[in-house]
Chain A
Amino acid sequence: MYELILLLILLSLGYVVGQHAERRHYRSILQREERLNSLPAIASRYPPSEPHYHQALVTGSTVISVDYFKRFLAALRSLFGGRITAYESLLDRARRESLLRMKQQASALGASMVFNVKYETASISKGRGNSIGSVEVLAYGTALIAPRDR
């Protein structure tokens, strides 16, 4: 009985706090994406040859965890198969946040673009069973900084 009550408390806490946190996070992501739109992140491997840019490796990483309610949903979903939207939004948030952090680092260096952007995803702490607890996403690329004396 107590276990059921505890489960319900955890589920509702996870739902309320988790939803709120996710909405706030998406708002802040959208805001910052708009601000950093002028700094393109390009997946091309070959940078423009003129002018001779300075280069610097920039990285951005995020470790983000899914809430209790969503993990519960995902566990249910894995009984029937199909899309697990709970985890999709988790990974989407982590990727966009990492890219933003990378861009922030690049813009602090005065870069005009970031080339050869790559993502790296790792699930660092696996929860009970085989479910994902939290994921780390790293975004990295080469910031091209225009030479000042032109």
Chain B
Amino acid sequence: MLISNLELIPGRRVIEHLGLVQGSSVRAKHVGRDIMAGVKNIFGGELKGYTELLQESREEAMQRLQQQAEAVGANAILNVRFSTSSIAQGAAEIYVYGTAVILD
């Protein structure tokens, strides 16, 4: 499965558009990480726990995106976009979407 945020792939032709596919994942941070983040809020600096958390979350969203694309019989997803929104204090939603296509 080719996943790309370009709109076209040089040298390959899109045979069929299969529409939008998406994947999302909502994660909350856990208490231990929260306490560390509280400390970091005084000293400043990178919150490694959160970086990892969002990374995992993003991977999961990508997996769901890929599953959906496989389900509709695509072999590539083009024009992939990421979007992050904090829906509540301490929880973030990661949303990935793109166009499922069949390339020759």
Q: A53-B10, A122-B92, A123-B86 are in contact. Are A62 and B46 (CB under 8 A)?
A: yes
Q: Is the CB–CB distance between B43 and A18 below 8 Å?
A: yes
Which residues in B have their C-beta under 8 angstroms from that of A118? 5, 81-82
Shortest beta-carbon distance, A106 to chain B, in Å?
A: 13
Which residues in B have their C-beta under 8 angstroms from that of A18? 43-45
Number of A-B contacts (CB under 8 A): 126
A13 at the binding interface (Cβ < 8 Å) = yes
Q: Which of A31-39, A73-81, A125-133 contacts B (4 or more CB under 8 A)?
A: A125-133
| Contacts of B1-53 to chain A: CB distance below 8 A | 2-11, 37, 40-48, 50-51
Q: Which residue of A lies closest to B50 (CB)?
A: A63
Shortest beta-carbon distance, A76 to chain B, in Å?
A: 17
Q: Is the CB–CB distance between A116 and B10 below 8 Å?
A: no
Q: A122-B92, A125-B37 are in contact. Are A66 and B44 (CB under 8 A)?
A: yes
Q: Is the CB–CB distance between B40 and A65 below 8 Å?
A: yes
Q: Is the CB–CB distance between A13 and B6 below 8 Å?
A: no
27 A-B contact pairs sorted by A residue (CB < 8 Å):
A14-B43, A18-B43, A21-B44, A53-B10, A57-B4, A57-B5, A62-B51, A63-B46, A64-B44, A65-B41, A65-B45, A65-B47, A67-B43, A68-B42, A118-B5, A120-B82, A120-B83, A122-B92, A125-B86, A125-B89, A125-B90, A126-B89, A134-B37, A134-B47, A136-B51, A136-B84, A140-B5
| Contacts of A41-73 to chain B: CB distance below 8 A | 45-50, 52-53, 55-57, 59, 61-68, 70-71
- Known contacts A62-B46, A65-B44, A70-B44; 11 additional CB pairs below 8 A are A46-B6, A55-B4, A63-B48, A63-B50, A65-B47, A67-B45, A125-B90, A133-B41, A134-B41, A136-B50, A138-B58
Interface size on A, residues (CB 8 A): 48
Q: Is the CB–CB distance between A49 and B10 below 8 Å?
A: yes
B69 at the binding interface (Cβ < 8 Å) = no
| Contacts of B57-100 to chain A: CB distance below 8 A | 58, 80-86, 89-90, 92
Which residues in A have their C-beta under 8 angstroms from that of B40? 65, 134
Shortest beta-carbon distance, B97 to chain A, in Å?
A: 13
